[in-house]
Amino acid sequence: MASGTWSEFDIPERAGFYMRLKARALAAIRPGNRGTLAIPVRANWGPIKEVVKITSEADILRYFGSDRGDFTAYKALRLALVGQPRDILAYRLDDGSAKQANASVKNNEGAEVGTLRTKYPTEKPFNYSVQDDIVDSDLQTLSLYEGTRRIYTVNFAKGDIEDFANVINGDQTNEWVIFNKKNGAEGDIENVANAPLSSGDAGVSGITNADYIDAMQVFETRKIHAFALDGVADSSLQTSVKAWVERLRSHGKKVIAYVGGSLDDTPSEADERSKLFNSEGMVNATENAVFEGEWISSAFVACWAAGFCTGQQLSESPTHADTPFTEIKPIRKHDEVLNGLRSGSFMLTYDDDENVIVEKGINTLTSLTDEQNNAWRFIKTVRIMDAIDLDLSAESHQKHTGKVPGNSDGHAAIISAYKNYFALISPTLVASDYVVAIDEELQRNAEGDQLFWYWDARVINNVERIYGTGHVRY
């Protein structure tokens, strides 16, 4: 159903729920029912141009493997998982050249009987062996290897190529290969040792920004709360991400994007990137860090930040939160930290025990509009605003839009439901003096199918700055 923002000068025509926010206090909704992060990845395994749900490291290994180098899936998704979002939606990119690896299978007379193919496009060093079964002379054994590691073994009837095809293609535990039988093929499968599956292509060498934008269009059709790139620091792509996020947010899809820079970024370069974004929907990670003994760029740190911030309860703030990192660079001086805060940078720093923590949970918004205040600069606050918008929109679509009469009784029923919503979260997340009411001024000239209302609430914020005064006696 239709949703999004509205103004007195731009009244949406479609039936639906529309919500605008103006600078005042904010409110929150029940924690724990959101947290889906979307990431496009470059991989050497897995379905091409499909959205895959990831909830564990086992899922990453199953769908995409653990390849590194030019392949970012394992690294980016694992960093995001460490942040503990509810789930991750991953999308394997393709430059158009992706191709399955294959091998021609022959019989004992040297005639081709079919083709053994990988299930997905890949450059993995797969090879296979066929030998007579050492126990049953009526059987043969197929063994599949990734390099020298055997990953799959199955027995089939000797002299029965149809059984060979059925066993391989019908085995639910076989996640790697399929066999295409040639019409009329017969005879015993030829015994071979370490025959390679070749000519595969992972389809990553020619990936461009357009491929990432295609992935974003796919994610747009799914329910997501956050988006991150897979370690990419390309400025033009990040600009496209910002435009995409701002368009989605204006249409009621509340997404926050997390990005970062390269390993050689200076603090001033990283802060300049934050200033250019200047958006409550963009978070810019600025420090490189050591993760499990490896230096990673701030663009990869952004994957963790996306998972962590998205997975937090709405009552929690990223400020001074622990991280999985052991070192950071560059290490900012005090003045550089202040400049980062004023620029809207998501920085990492050391606490008194030399642990790496988040300096402050802020987004890149620094230039406020007339309808914004400093609350729009905090990741926590924006997530709360987004939660209210999304939850009340969902409730209205399900129970109110097109279902409630446009009279005083219908209006009262809707307002009562919204008040109940705020009652659920008060006084833990919002103060008990919240107001939910019909906007009498706008409603005075409303059409019969329109209802104008507002909420006003003070959020119970986290204490982040403590100022004390000590009086010394003598």
Residues 82, 109 within the same domain: no
Same domain as 65, residue 148:
no
**Angle (nearest 5°) at CA 268 between 262 and 270:** 35
pLDDT of residue 21: 53
How far, in Å, CA of 423 to CA of 392, rounded?
13
Residue 162's domain comprises 100-196
Residue 384 lies in a domain: no
Note the pLDDT of residue 25.
32
Residue that terminates a domain, selected from 135, 165, 196: 196
Residues 359 and 114: their CA atoms lie apart, in Å, by 60
User: b/e per residue, 424-448, with b = 16+ CB within 10 A?
Assistant: ebbeebbeeebebebeeeeeeeeee
Other residues' Cβ atoms within 10 Å of the Cβ of residue 209: 15
Looking at the structure of the chain, the number of domains it has is 3
Listed residue (95, 103, 101, 116) closest to 199, CA to CA: 101
Residue 386 belongs to some domain of the structure: no
- Which of 136, 169, 196 is the last residue before a domain boundary? 196
CATH number of residue 218's parent domain: 3.40.50.11780
Tell me: do 397 and 428 sit in the same domain: yes
Are both 225 and 314 inside the same structural domain? yes
User: Does one domain contain both 79 and 124?
Assistant: no
Query: Residue 16 has what pLDDT?
Result: 60
Q: What sign results for the dihedral spanned by CA atoms 113, 118, 120, 121?
A: negative
Higher pLDDT, 378 or 374: 378
CA distances from 392 to 30, 47, 130, 271, 453 (A): 12, 36, 61, 36, 12
Whether residues 215 and 255 share a domain: the answer is yes
User: CA-CA distance, 219 to 374, in Å (whole number)?
Assistant: 30
Q: What CATH number corresponds to the domain at position 131? A: 2.60.40.4290
The per-residue pLDDT for 12 is: 64
What radius of gyration do the chain's Cα atoms show? 28
Q: What is the pLDDT of residues 226-276, one digit of tens each?
A: 999 999 999 999 999 999 999 999 999 999 999 999 999 999 999 999 999
> Quick one: 329 and 302 in the same domain?
yes
Confidence class of residue 29 from pLDDT cuts 50, 70 and 90? very low
Residue 69 confidence (pLDDT) above 60? yes
Residue 468 lies in a domain: no
Residue 297: the pLDDT is: 98
pLDDT surpassing 80 at residue 398: yes
Q: Average pLDDT over the chain, rounded to whole?
A: 91
For 408-457, what is each residue's pLDDT tens digit?
Answer: 999 999 989 999 988 987 787 777 898 999 999 999 998 989 999 888 98
Q: Which residues contact 461 (CB under 8 A, 6 or more apart)?
A: 380, 381
Q: In this structure, which amino acid lies at residue 63?
A: Y
The answer on 185 and 42 residing in a single domain is no
pLDDT of residue 275: 98
pTM for this structure? Answer: 0.88
Give the whole-angstrom CA distance, residue 285 versus residue 429: 27
pLDDT of residue 181: 95
Mean pLDDT of 130-140: 93
What's the Cα-to-Cα distance from 333 to each of 20, 292, 425, 436, rounded to whole Å? 40, 25, 40, 46
Q: What does the pLDDT read at residue 28? A: 32
The answer to whether residue 115 is domain-embedded is yes
Provide the pLDDT for residue 31. 30
Considering the domain boundaries, does residue 373 fall inside one?
A: no
Last residue of a domain, one of 196, 231, 263: 196
The pLDDT score that the predictor gives to residue 397 is: 85
Q: Does some domain include residue 148? A: yes
Query: What would the mean pLDDT of 64-71 be, rounded to a whole number?
Result: 95
* Overall average pLDDT of the 56-77 stretch: 96
Query: Is 155 in the same domain as 231?
Result: no
Say yes or no: 14 and 117 in one domain: no
Residue 401's pLDDT band, with cuts at 50, 70 and 90, is confident
Whether residues 220 and 312 fall in one domain = yes
76 and 221: one domain?
yes
C-alpha angle 167/169/174, rounded to 5°?
90
- Residue 466 included in any domain: no
In the predicted structure, residue 373 carries a pLDDT above the cut 90: no
Say if 404 falls within a structural domain: yes
Instruction: Write out pLDDT tens, residues 303-341.
Output: 999 999 999 998 899 999 999 999 999 999 999 999 999
